[in-house]
Structure 1
């Protein structure tokens, strides 16, 4: 059996969860070159991003093609595989028509969107009287440590959607989800503005890749099994 065939054989015998990231990547790329087998190419590609699938998923086709043995076809196939995985995770995490029961559910809903970003994004989830999700949207973005959003726009959209409550969600690319002074001040400003129009700020959840902070719970919660939310 050639080295190129071994990852596929292991997948058939052991199942996909038993394979390493390099073996799965090798199956996606299918074949090696005359001088290098596909597993060697897969390992070098992973090494170029310090073995991080999150980083690899964010890289361009041109970046992947810098690795010897990775041509346009292989790089395009890898990019397509990551996009399918991302869309699957988003579909799996949809909670429209479900009642929000806590911060963990919010994390599960938003981590496929916010994981691995190198900038902050702020999202709003709109809820009806029974805390069922009736919509969500991105309302702001910023750099590594700052974010801007328009409270008036949030109020307007909440009124248009006839939402009774909202949840604000944003990420901290630094990996530390604890709120800073600006986070606390902005949360209180939004809470006050919502009360004036008889709306409720149900929670503000700050997300990092493997943990989250909930203003409602006032605690940081680690999520050791984060991979399950990404399919």
Structure 2
């Protein structure tokens, strides 16, 4: 298979012989790309695809992720606010996939909350010291 860019790969029809993302060049596959270059090297749609885990017969997980992100203007703050009902409207998004995304968004929210509390404590300490 000739090397194809992301858009070309996502538009390929999936069939049993292609096996979805497994048919892509290894350096284009989200899992392999993350292991080789770290999570910072992945695009938002690739990170979301890793949470989703698998696509459908007609669409890869990366294609599904791109469609979800496109529906919210590629705004990650909107992704953090999305609910089960909104995710479930996408073909291929069942309870397990929706739950994975919602769980990841909740973990991210909790991390931010802890960081904000830590920063508030630090600045409170500085205020108490008169700085």
| Superposition TM-score, scaled by structure 1 size | 0.42
For residue 21 of structure 1, the aligned residue among 27, 37, 44 is: 44
Who wins on radius of gyration, i.e. which is larger? 1
Q: For the structure 1 residues 67 and 131, does the alpha-carbon distance in structure 2 shift closer, same or farther, using more than 3 Å as the test?
A: farther
Query: Comparing both structures, which one devotes a greater share of its residues to helix?
Result: 2
Number of the residue aligned with 1:3: 21
Number of the residue aligned with 1:89: 112
Deviation at 1:90, TM superposition (A): 1.3
Q: For the structure 1 residues 2 and 91, does the alpha-carbon distance in structure 2 shift closer, same or farther, using more than 3 Å as the test?
A: same
Secondary structure of the structure 2 residue equivalent to 1:50: coil
Number of the residue aligned with 2:74: 51
Moved over 6 A (4+): none
Q: For the structure 1 residues 99 and 2, does the alpha-carbon distance in structure 2 shift closer, same or farther, using more than 3 Å as the test?
A: same
Cα separation, 2, equivalents of 1:36 and 1:85: 27
Deviation at 1:80, TM superposition (A): 0.6
| Superposition TM-score, scaled by structure 2 size | 0.71
Deviation at 1:59, TM superposition (A): 1.6
For structure 1, the residue ranges without an aligned partner over 5 or more in a row are 103-126, 133-231
1:34 aligns with 2:57: yes
Cα separation, 2, equivalents of 1:93 and 1:58: 18
Query: Comparing both structures, which one devotes a greater share of its residues to strand?
Result: 1
The within-5 A match list for 1:1-231 is 2-3=20-21, 6-95=29-118, 97-100=121-124, 130=128
Number of residue-to-residue matches in the alignment: 106
Cα separation, 2, equivalents of 1:8 and 1:41: 16
Deviation at 1:45, TM superposition (A): 0.5
Secondary structure of the structure 1 residue equivalent to 2:89: coil
Check conservation: 1:61, 1:79, Cα contact below 8 A: yes
Larger RCO (CA under 8 A, 6+ residues apart) = 2
